[in-house]
């Protein structure tokens, strides 16, 4: 269609990539997507686990992310000096922690009992720590020449990544099967402290972090998208090794996992290795499904954060899940409103009115597997109020509901969608992430390429229809930072500030 | 999304994060291990086939008559062409009353259009082709880059030539860029990490130093269109530019194209760049930046770093790897995993290309553990110098990791080209990637221990803590003198 006619070489390149993907599912249900890309003797992978913070309930928020951290702590054979003794120490530690937690969470805690049990817990913690070889798992990857060892958790899924030289394919099979065959939750209660510091860093000590958490909580009344991916502070400080174990056994079953491997690999040699290593993992029961559906929004919600930082304005509109047939219409809206210097937001707010220094959007907040919100934001220029950028954003959204977008805007959208996909193929890791992500969301990696067909079919009428339905006051949630003066620091002084 | 790592790790490994391979595979396929019938029990039982030697692809280098240097590297995997340029300029050359001029020039060179097209026309032209051209000027260099689909190569390169040679510096676009610079100043205290980096640099280099100073409302307001045009006229000439092309082209044809676009670019005047004093450390002591909207404190300690030309460079790259460069490094294991004090903990000797960045150690920790955090960072520095110097095993692990991962610095032509441009710009040898690898290979544990003792100087450390005054102050009680830094932003002068 139009895009292919614009850029024949692009179309050929995309078609050839699609034909280079081999899909292989083990009998236990774990799916592998393999792409041979012998540009260099290296490969990259991503394992996507179909569990995110949306699968957490009350008291357990942040547990998906906490488990992600624990997946770096090793196994009975990696990270310990004596696993049998360590296992006993960990069991004693957990009993001591549960006793302490029971005392601490009573409605009327006895301070002496809490302190005694806390001391006992700390003793058991030190005893278990004596068996730990810290970060042995990561050390193996590092020594092998691995790069980009990392993982991430979103509202929708959990991902594990790194890249290795091509001769280390069996090491990959060993480590990545071992890690999910029998993870050991060593250093769990220290890692909880690490996650609390992560929360303080990202959410509590940054104005935008504070605002986004409030925005998200206001946006969803029923669906678990309303709680933060990192978790509430009280939950981070309360979930237990036992909780993490239950979470693991519920969600980390092979049928809930897909791994994409891209690089100098060959399906005929790697598939037997995958069978040997990943085939060890038992099938396990299918994970539960999520019942709660966010009801239609009947009231505009507004969040105002009085904060000692500069103004910021954002608003979200509820929209359907990524699998909805209108998804590409939203992507067209996104492209036309916010992609680049020719976008409508940029030209109106930044170029012509000069009331904002940037304006953009997030198409999938806080996730996209379930109905979520489309977020627009603007960073006001110095001295400009949130109200002015809000009005200007609303003018642009209103225009989408009344006037057709131009054919030029649609053509640009189609061409850029193709080029963006093409550019993403230049990287082993980029492609591995895209394939595993799409396969998790749609159940079929081919959607990564097929979505372009739907991109080609988006019309100006579609955009008006979707805009009219979406950009209404009752479907909206807004959040803004209103600046309050910070306490003025005393003039610089060399006097000691110690008490 | 929440990551297991914060982004600091990438910075410590920056040296390794880039490099290449030519269009055709430069190695033969690795020998495949026989498929095992049963999994191994431990990692020691694994045997790896040898990785084929990685040949670092060599670009074709051409110098035009006007002095313009060009590197060509073909990469036919996808129908895309990228061009990258280094321009010999930088904000360190700015006069003190025009701080911000280089950055504005870098931004408006592209946004302000060319003699042939207004900025808006240029935006439409490029975005309609899914192409990009961007320019910027940093402290020590300027860059220009373009990327486009193969079929647009000739057209977009012509526009790219105009951006470099004939920028229009449209006044409206300058106003937009200044608007952004002003907003950026207003927001400069919102993010704790940014506050810490800026104030630490001022303490290390001196607050008036070209390596630490930042724009003010007054310096931005005082910059006019003429300043940008003069800056461009002074610094953007063929002899000050290195171009690199990578992608789906034939080198002969690309050379013809580049010659057509840049061949008649006049050599330009010979300009003596203003003298920028080589930075020297001035400050020591303990400093607090009060910032009350934080639930933790950001701690930074350190002193002036080194350049990659230092004779201890390879030993200290290995030291950095042991301290913080890898997953099981000392700072990560001891301070994060075992003590649970921080999510982000990083540190090591700072290495620059031509001037030293700070050597620094940093972490963010809750207010109750600021003292414990400071003590832990200092203890790790002292240990690696004296009580627990790097062991043979640690050095072997670090070297093996660096050498095994070297292939990732050369696994894509675009990566290699970017590194070669940087090396050429700063006057490093064209085989610097190979030189680096050989340097790591030959370094001994004894050299690492000696370099650690010589180049870490805790008695010269500057200590900076950003956080709520009342929360942080008790942790500082043991220090003799604590200086408070006022980061209030001065209002613009009245016109």
- Identify whether residues B64 and B164 lie together within a single domain: yes
In A, which residues are within 8 Å of B343 by CB distance?
194-195, 197-198, 201
Q: Are B57 and B20 spatial neighbours (Cβ–Cβ below 8 Å)? A: yes
Give the chain A residue whose CA is nearest to the CA of B49. Answer: A167
Output the furthest CA–CA distance in chain A (Å, rounded). 77
Domain finish residue from B262, B293, B310: B262
DSSP state of B167: B
Of the residues A181, A200, A367, the best mutation for testing chain B's interface (the one with the most B CB atoms within 10 Å of its CB) is A200
Any idea what the CATH number is for the domain that residue B187 is in? Answer: 3.30.830.10
- Best CA proximity match to A433, nearest among A164, A172, A167, A160: A160
- Identify whether residues B128 and B188 lie together within a single domain: yes
Domain finish residue from B198, B230, B262: B262
- Identify whether residues B295 and B222 lie together within a single domain: no
Q: B34 falls in which pLDDT band (50, 70, 90)?
A: low
Q: Are B251 and B74 spatial neighbours (Cβ–Cβ below 8 Å)? A: yes
- Identify whether residues B300 and B225 lie together within a single domain: no
Q: Are A186 and A135 spatial neighbours (Cβ–Cβ below 8 Å)? A: no
The answer to whether residue B24 is domain-embedded is: no
Q: Is the pLDDT of residue B479 over 70?
A: no
Between CA B483 and CA B199 the distance in angstroms is 13
Q: Are A380 and A388 spatial neighbours (Cβ–Cβ below 8 Å)? A: yes
User: Two tokens at A70?
Assistant: 């624990």
Give the chain A residue whose CA is nearest to the CA of B466. Answer: A205
Between CA A344 and CA A341 the distance in angstroms is 8
Q: Do A68 and B150 touch (CB under 8 A)?
A: no
- Identify whether residues B136 and B226 lie together within a single domain: yes
Query: CA geometry: angle at A260 spanning A258 and A263, to 5°?
Result: 165
10-residue mean pLDDT series, chain A (499 residues) = 49 79 97 94 98 96 97 97 98 98 94 97 98 96 96 97 97 98 97 97 96 98 97 97 97 98 96 97 95 97 96 98 97 97 98 98 95 98 98 98 98 96 92 96 95 96 98 98 73 33
Q: Is the pLDDT of residue B61 over 90?
A: yes
The answer to whether residue B34 is domain-embedded is: no
| Residue B209, SS3 per DSSP | coil
Between CA A52 and CA A230 the distance in angstroms is 11
Most confident region among A403-417, B3-17, B261-275 by mean pLDDT: A403-417
Domain finish residue from B199, B227, B262: B262
- Identify whether residues B414 and B343 lie together within a single domain: yes
Residue B180 in contact with partner chain A when CB distance is under 8 A: yes
B388-421 residues labelled b (16+ CB within 10 A) or e (exposed): ebbeeebbebbbebbebbbbbbbbbbbbbbbbbb
- Identify whether residues B244 and B293 lie together within a single domain: no
Q: Is the pLDDT of residue B15 over 60?
A: no
Q: Is the pLDDT of residue B24 over 90?
A: no
Between CA B209 and CA B201 the distance in angstroms is 9
Query: CA geometry: angle at B323 spanning B320 and B328, to 5°?
Result: 120
Of B38, B183, B290, the CB nearest to A382: B183
pLDDT digits (tens, 9 = 90+) for B121-133: 999 999 999 999 9
Of A152, A165, A201, the CB nearest to B343: A201
State how far Cα A18 lies from the chain centre. Answer: 25
Between CA A231 and CA B329 the distance in angstroms is 28
Q: Name the CA radius of gyration of chain A, rounded.
A: 25
Sign of the torsion formed by the C-alpha atoms of B13, B16, B18 and B23: negative
Min distance B273 CA to chain A CA atoms (Å): 33
pLDDT of residue B21: 23
pLDDT of residue B215: 98
Residue B485 in contact with partner chain A when CB distance is under 8 A: yes
Whether the complex's predicted ipTM is more than 0.90 is answered with yes
Residue B337 in contact with partner chain A when CB distance is under 8 A: yes
pLDDT of residue A486: 65
- Identify whether residues B252 and B314 lie together within a single domain: no
Of the residues B152, B193, B327, the best mutation for testing chain A's interface (the one with the most A CB atoms within 10 Å of its CB) is B327
Q: Is the pLDDT of residue B55 over 50?
A: yes
- Best CA proximity match to A450, nearest among A60, A1, A111, A91: A1
Q: Do A145 and B365 touch (CB under 8 A)?
A: no
The answer to whether residue B168 is domain-embedded is: yes
pLDDT of residue B272: 84
Output the furthest CA–CA distance in chain B (Å, rounded). 81
Q: Is A24 left (phi over 0), alpha (psi -120 to 50) or beta?
A: beta
Between CA A382 and CA A380 the distance in angstroms is 6
pLDDT digits (tens, 9 = 90+) for B174-205: 999 999 999 999 999 999 999 999 999 999 99
Of B42, B293, B407, the CB nearest to A42: B407
- Identify whether residues B156 and B289 lie together within a single domain: no
The answer to whether residue B118 is domain-embedded is: yes
- N- to C-terminal Cα separation, chain A: 73
- Identify whether residues B180 and B297 lie together within a single domain: no
Pairing type for strands B241-247 and B69-74 reads parallel
Q: Do B79 and A129 touch (CB under 8 A)?
A: no
The answer to whether residue B465 is domain-embedded is: yes
- Identify whether residues B254 and B306 lie together within a single domain: no
The answer to whether residue B493 is domain-embedded is: no
- Identify whether residues B227 and B293 lie together within a single domain: no
Domains and CATH numbers, chain A: 24-80+132-278 (3.30.830.10), 301-483 (3.30.830.10)
**Overall domain count for chain B:** 2
User: Two tokens at B19?
Assistant: 């490099």
| Residue B274, SS3 per DSSP | coil
Cis ω for the linkage preceding A366 (within 30 of 0): yes
Residue A308 in contact with partner chain B when CB distance is under 8 A: yes
Per the structure, the complete domain to which residue B297 belongs is given by 284-484
Of A77, A134, A423, the CB nearest to B338: A134
pLDDT digits (tens, 9 = 90+) for B318-344: 999 999 988 889 999 999 999 999 999
The backbone torsions φ and ψ at residue A428, rounded to the nearest 5 degrees and listed phi first, read -55, -45
The answer to whether residue B244 is domain-embedded is: yes
The answer to whether residue B102 is domain-embedded is: yes
Give the chain A residue whose CA is nearest to the CA of B10. Answer: A148
Alpha-helix residue ranges (DSSP H) falling in A105-168: 111-129, 136-143
Range B287-299 average pLDDT: 96
pLDDT of residue B11: 28
Q: Is the pLDDT of residue B1 over 50?
A: no
């Amino acid at each position: 269609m139009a895009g292919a006619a614009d850029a024949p070489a692009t179309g050929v390149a995309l078609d050839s990539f699609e034909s280079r993907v081999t899909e292989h599912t083990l009998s236990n249900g774990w799916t592998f997507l393999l792409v041979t890309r012998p540009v260099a003797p290296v490969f990259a992978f991503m394992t996507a686990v179909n569990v995110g913070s949306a699968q957490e309930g009350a008291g357990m928020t942040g547990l998906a992310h906490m488990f992600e951290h624990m997946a770096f702590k090793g196994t009975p054979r990696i990270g310990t000096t004596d696993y049998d003794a360590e296992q006993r120490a960990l069991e004693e530690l957990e009993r001591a922690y549960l006793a302490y937690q029971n005392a601490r969470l009573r409605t009327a805690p006895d301070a002496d009992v809490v302190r005694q049990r806390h001391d006992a817990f700390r003793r058991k913690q030190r005893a278990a720590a004596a068996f730990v070889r810290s970060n042995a798992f990561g050390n193996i990857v590092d020594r092998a020449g691995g790069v980009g060892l990392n993982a991430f958790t979103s509202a929708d899924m959990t991902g594990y990544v790194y890249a290795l030289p091509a001769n280390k394919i069996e090491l990959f099979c060993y480590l990545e099967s071992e890690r999910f065959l029998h993870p050991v939750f060593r250093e769990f209660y220290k890692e909880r402290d690490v996650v609390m510091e992560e929360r303080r860093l990202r959410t509590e000590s940054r104005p935008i972090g504070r605002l986004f958490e409030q925005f998200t909580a206001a946006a969803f009344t029923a669906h678990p998208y309303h709680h933060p991916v990192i978790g509430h502070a009280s939950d981070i400080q309360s979930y237990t090794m036992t909780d993490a174990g239950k979470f693991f056994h519920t969600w980390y079953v092979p049928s809930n996992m897909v791994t994409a491997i891209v690089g100098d690999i060959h399906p005929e040699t790697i598939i037997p290795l995958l069978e040997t290593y990943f085939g060890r993992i038992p099938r396990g029961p299918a994970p539960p499904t999520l019942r709660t559906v966010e009801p239609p929004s009947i009231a505009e919600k507004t969040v105002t954060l009085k904060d000692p930082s500069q103004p910021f304005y954002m608003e979200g509109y509820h929209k359907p899940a990524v699998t909805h047939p209108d998804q590409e219409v939203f992507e067209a809206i996104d492209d036309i409103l916010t992609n680049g210097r020719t976008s409508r937001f940029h030209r109106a707010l930044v170029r012509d009115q000069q009331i904002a220094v940037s304006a953009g959007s997030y198409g999938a907040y806080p996730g996209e597997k379930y109905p979520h919100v489309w977020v627009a934001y603007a960073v006001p220029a110095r001295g400009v109020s949130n109200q002015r950028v809000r009005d200007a954003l609303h003018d642009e959204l209103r225009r989408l509901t009344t006037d057709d977008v131009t054919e030029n805007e649609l053509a640009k959208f189609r061409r850029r969608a193709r080029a963006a996909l093409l550019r993403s193929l230049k990287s082993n890791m980029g492609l591995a992430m895209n394939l595993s992500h799409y396969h998790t969301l749609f159940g079929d990696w081919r959607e990564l390429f097929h979505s372009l067909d739907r991109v080609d079919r988006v019309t100006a009428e579609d955009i008006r229809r979707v805009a009219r339905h979406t950009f209404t006051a009752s479907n909206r949630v807004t959040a803004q930072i209103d600046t309050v003066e910070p306490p003025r620091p005393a003039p610089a002084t060399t006097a000691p500030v110690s008490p | 999304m929440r990551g297991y790592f914060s982004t600091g790790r990438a910075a410590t490994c920056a040296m390794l994060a880039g490099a290449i391979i030519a269009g055709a595979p430069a190695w033969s396929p690795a020998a495949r291990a026989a498929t095992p019938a049963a999994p191994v029990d431990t990692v020691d039982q694994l045997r790896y086939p040898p990785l084929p030697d990685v040949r670092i692809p060599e670009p074709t280098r051409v110098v035009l008559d006007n002095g313009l240097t060009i590197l060509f590297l073909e990469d036919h995997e996808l129908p895309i062409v990228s061009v990258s340029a280094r321009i010999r300029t930088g904000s360190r050359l700015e006069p003190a009353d025009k701080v911000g001029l280089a950055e504005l020039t870098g931004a408006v060179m592209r946004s302000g259009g060319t003699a042939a097209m207004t900025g808006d026309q240029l935006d439409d032209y490029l975005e309609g082709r899914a192409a990009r051209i961007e320019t910027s000027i940093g402290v020590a260099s300027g860059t220009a880059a373009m990327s486009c689909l193969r079929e647009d190569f000739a057209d977009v390169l012509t526009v790219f030539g105009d951006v470099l040679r004939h920028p229009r510096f449209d006044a409206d676009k300058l106003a937009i860029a200044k608007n952004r610079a002003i907003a950026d100043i207003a927001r400069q205290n919102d993010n704790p990490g940014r506050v810490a980096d800026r104030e630490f640099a001022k303490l290390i280099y001196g607050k008036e130093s070209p390596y630490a100073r930042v724009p003010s409302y007054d310096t931005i307001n005082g910059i006019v269109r003429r300043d940008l045009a003069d800056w461009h006229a002074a610094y953007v000439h063929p002899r000050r530019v290195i171009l690199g092309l990578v992608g789906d082209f034939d080198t002969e044809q690309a050379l013809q194209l580049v010659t057509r676009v840049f061949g008649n670019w006049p050599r330009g005047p010979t300009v003596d760049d203003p003298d920028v004093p080589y930075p020297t450390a001035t400050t020591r002591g303990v400093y607090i930046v009060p910032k009350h909207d934080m639930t933790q404190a950001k701690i930074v300690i350190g002193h002036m770093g080194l350049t990659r030309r230092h004779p201890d460079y390879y030993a200290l790259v290995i030291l950095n790897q042991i301290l913080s460069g890898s997953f099981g490094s000392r700072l990560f294991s001891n301070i994060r995993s075992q003590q649970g004090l921080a999510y982000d903990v990083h540190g090591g000797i700072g290495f620059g290309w031509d001037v030293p960045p700070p050597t620094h150690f940093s972490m963010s920790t809750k207010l109750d553990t600021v003292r414990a955090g400071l003590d832990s960072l200092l203890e790790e520095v002292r240990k690696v110098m004296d009580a627990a110097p790097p062991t043979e095993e640690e050095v072997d692990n670090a070297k093996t990791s660096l050498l095994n991962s070297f292939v990732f610095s050369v696994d894509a032509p675009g990566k290699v080209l970017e590194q070669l441009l940087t090396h050429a710009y700063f006057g490093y040898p064209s085989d610097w990637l190979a030189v680096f690898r050989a340097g790591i290979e030959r370094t001994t544990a004894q050299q690492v221990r000696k370099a650690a003792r010589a180049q870490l100087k805790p008695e010269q450390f500057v200590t900076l803590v950003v956080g709520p005054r009342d929360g942080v102050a008790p942790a500082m009680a043991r220090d003799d003198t604590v200086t408070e830094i006022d980061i209030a932003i001065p209002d613009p002068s009245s016109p």
